[in-house]
Structures are given as structure tokens and as C-alpha cells.
């Protein structure tokens, strides 16, 4: 039986989407200021195994640094500018640790979808670190939902924190998705909105999973997905799709 979705139905992607630098504390604050109840962000490990918020395996696109995230100590990462690339207004914004982001979410009363985003070769190690720290950071509800494209990471997260719920993240629903998600003990399926069909949405929900779609930036598409019974969407356009849209 499909359980009612207990969390926000419109979630800020990588914080506040295109309104602030992605995966920053500024983005989390912006989403909260705009009335959103939930945010999504990506977590990777530094060279010294500190979980931090960043999407790419390299620093080049979203910081003033260069090179591999996994090869850079967190002290160096924390000194980089993660906002100037976006706009002068955010110059000086830093790469936050997962601990900083989790504490801020708790302070602001935000639910979080934490995407475990491991650098290649660190799938299990990243997931274990993220899951263990999530247990410490969220001692009171609502607990975060841990998601990942990597089955190995989901398995490691389950081993490290079996009480935290997990989401099976995929681009397209391929044959065998249900067996994989069920074997990993996932409670939700997160997929690319561009490829999802109404029949697939019915299949996922009939199988008892929550269904979440990324990255939905057009109100018309959001309406269509919600009419299919989608539980939640991730959006970059918090200015177009408000928290009460659903």
C-alpha cells in the first residue's frame, strides 16, 4: 500500500536552485526564507574524509579552486570561494561541511533529501560517513532521506544507519528497478521527470514506493506530474513553483 508522503511536496534542488550558488548555506537559507520546507543537496568526501556539499568531482565549476575534491583536504576546500562564480552578491560564500548544513536545516526546521554523491572509488566509504553523521545531526524528526545513484552507496548507508530511510535514484526506470530498490530496502524512487511516463508512475506507486521527480522547472510539467500522483518534485525555479504549488 502506498503510504501518504509526510514531507514537503516541492523541494529546493541543491538548496535554492538557480536563485543562489548551489550546495551552499546561502541556498538553504534562501529556500527557508521563501517558505520552502525542504531542500536537497549533494554530499561528497574531502581527502581527509570530511563530508561536504558539492556536486562535481572537481572544484572548477562552482569554486575558485581547481582539481579533485577527493584529493583536497577540507581546510583547503573551506577556504575557497563558492559564490563568486554565481554573482558578486555571493562572493565569499564557502563550501559548507555536511555538519554545517545539517545543523542549519535543523535550526531552520527544514527537511532534507541528502544525495550521497561519491567520487569514483569512494562509493561505500562516502555513504557510511554520511549516514553515520546524519544520525548524529538529526536527533529529532524530521529525519533526512538518503538517496543515491549508486547501489553500493545505498547498501553501505543501510549498514551504517538502518533506521534512516533511503531513496533509489535513477535517470530512467529500467527493467529490474523494483528488484534492485527492494533489495536495498528503499522507500522511494527518484527519477528524471523527462523520461517518466504515467504508466510508470502508476507502477512505482502501486509497488508501494514514494515517487519523486527531478528537476522540474516548469509549472505546467509540475501540474502534470502531480496529476499522476507524484509525491514530490525537486525544482531549480523556486520563483516559479512555490512551496504551496501542490
DSSP secondary-structure letter at 174?
A: -
Options 55, 76, 91, 103, the catalytic residue:
55
Options 7, 8, 10, 13, the catalytic residue:
13
Is 55 in the active site?
yes
| 236 class by beta-carbon count within 10 Å (0-12 exposed, 13-18 middle, 19+ buried) | buried
Query: CB within 8 A of 197, min separation 6: which ones?
Result: none
Provide the angle, in degrees to the nearest 10, between the axes of the packed helices 25-33 and 98-108. 10
Alpha helices (runs of H) in the chain, residue ranges in sequence order: 25-33, 74-78, 98-108, 123-137, 151-160, 177-183, 198-206, 219-227
Per the CB < 8 A criterion, the answer to whether 115 and 56 are in contact is: no
C-alpha pair distances (Å), 215 with each of 4, 133, 140, 181, 232: 22, 27, 28, 21, 11
Is 13 in the active site?
yes
Catalytic positions: 13, 55
Amino acid at each position: 500500500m502506498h503510504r501518504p508522503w509526510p514531507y514537503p511536496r516541492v523541494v529546493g534542488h541543491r538548496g535554492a536552485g538557480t536563485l543562489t550558488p548551489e550546495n551552499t548555506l546561502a541556498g538553504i537559507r534562501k529556500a527557508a526564507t521563501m517558505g520552502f520546507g525542504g531542500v536537497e543537496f549533494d554530499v561528497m568526501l574531502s581527502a581527509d574524509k570530511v563530508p561536504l556539499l558539492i556536486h562535481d568531482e572537481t572544484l572548477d565549476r562552482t569554486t575558485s579552486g581547481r582539481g579533485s575534491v577527493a584529493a583536497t583536504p577540507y581546510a583547503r576546500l573551506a577556504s575557497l570561494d563558492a559564490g563568486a562564480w554565481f554573482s558578486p552578491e555571493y562572493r565569499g560564500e564557502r563550501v559548507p561541511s555536511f555538519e554545517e548544513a545539517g545543523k542549519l536545516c535543523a535550526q531552520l526546521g527544514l527537511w532534507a533529501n541528502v544525495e550521497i554523491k561519491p567520487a569514483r572509488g569512494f562509493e561505500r566509504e562516502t555513504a557510511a560517513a554520511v549516514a553515520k553523521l546524519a544520525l548524529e545531526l538529526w536527533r529529532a524528526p524530521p529525519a533526512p532521506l538518503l538517496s543515491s545513484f549508486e547501489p553500493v552507496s545505498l547498501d553501505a548507508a543501510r549498514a551504517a544507519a538502518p533506521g534512516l530511510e533511503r531513496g533509489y535514484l535513477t535517470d530512467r526506470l529500467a527493467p529490474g528497478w523494483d528488484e534492485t530498490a527492494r533489495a536495498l530496502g528503499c522507500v522511494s524512487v527518484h527519477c528524471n521527470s523527462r523520461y517518466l511516463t504515467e504508466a510508470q508512475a502508476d507502477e512505482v506507486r502501486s509497488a508501494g514506493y514514494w515517487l519523486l521527480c527531478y528537476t522540474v522547472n516548469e509549472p505546467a510539467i509540475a501540474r502534470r506530474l502531480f496529476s499522476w500522483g507524484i509525491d514530490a518534485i525537486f525544482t531549480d525555479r523556486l520563483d516559479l513553483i512555490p512551496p504551496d504549488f501542490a
